[in-house]
Chain A
Amino acid sequence: EIVLTQSPATLSLSPGERATLSCRASQSVSNYLAWYQQKPGQAPRLLIYDTSNRATGIPARFSGSGSGTDFTLTISSLEPEDFAVYYCQQRSNWPPLTFGPGTKVDLK
């Protein structure tokens, strides 16, 4: 099973700042990595798939990069609605599909 770790656990930032979230896989997942955003009381929402492709309707301030075992989600300039929990997920070697533990982006 591929284990995903995310850092930091919590990121405290202000609106307008740049957010950089990290996801590391226990073995290579090639480019088969996605990012989801989850707000309280809501289901997760797909942001990025295949490392760097934005899902439908996702603003350009969200971008993904990386390959192999190290991946990054960048939010170029935080908007108030971006404060949420972010999960990475891999589909390289499944079952099982696995998710990371999440990074919470909260208001500084």
Chain B
Amino acid sequence: EVQLLESGGGLVQPGGSLRLSCAASGFTFSNYAMSWVRQAPGKGVEWVSTISSTGRSAYYAGSVKGRFTISRDNSMNTVYLQMNSLRVEDTAVYYCAKDKTGNFVGWFDSWGQGSLVTVSS
């Protein structure tokens, strides 16, 4: 059974930093692209970032480009999201999501339970 477990969320002041982690199990992690998707309170779903299975390629939404960095450690079956220069509008539940196939297709067939990030003074 696929399991994705996020951690690292919390309360941070505007301009601060936070690193989210997502520990994966139940599948061959190194074969799959991984993504972060967020959802502001009471709002819809927004794609944030994707990293290829090898970690060589990374993609970002315009709203976070230059501030967030996605990375992965295939030996630890973990994907990370380093968030810098946080803004109030980054407040959201951040989900880790697994791609449906080994060749990235952009469909998310497994999701974590989410980690709440609150940016507030």
Nearest residue, chain A, Cβ from B107: A49
Known contacts A91-B105, A94-B106, A97-B106; is A44 also within 8 Å of B45 by CB?
yes
The distance in angstroms between the C-alpha atoms of A55 and B114, with both chains bound, is 21
The distance in angstroms between the C-alpha atoms of A102 and B62, with both chains bound, is 21
Size category of the binding interface on chain A:
20 to 34
Nearest residue, chain B, Cβ from A87: B45
Nearest residue, chain A, Cβ from B47: A97
Indicate whether B109 reaches chain A with its CB closer than 8 angstroms: yes
1/0 per residue, CB under 8 A from B, across A65-108: the answer is 00000000000000000000001010100111111111000000
The distance in angstroms between the C-alpha atoms of A38 and B114, with both chains bound, is 13
Indicate whether B46 reaches chain A with its CB closer than 8 angstroms: yes
* Contact of B61 with A46 in the complex, beta carbons under 8 Å: no
- 15 sample A-B contacts, Cβ–Cβ < 8 Å, listed by A number: A34-B107, A38-B45, A43-B95, A44-B111, A46-B109, A49-B105, A49-B107, A87-B44, A91-B107, A94-B59, A95-B47, A96-B61, A98-B47, A99-B45, A99-B46
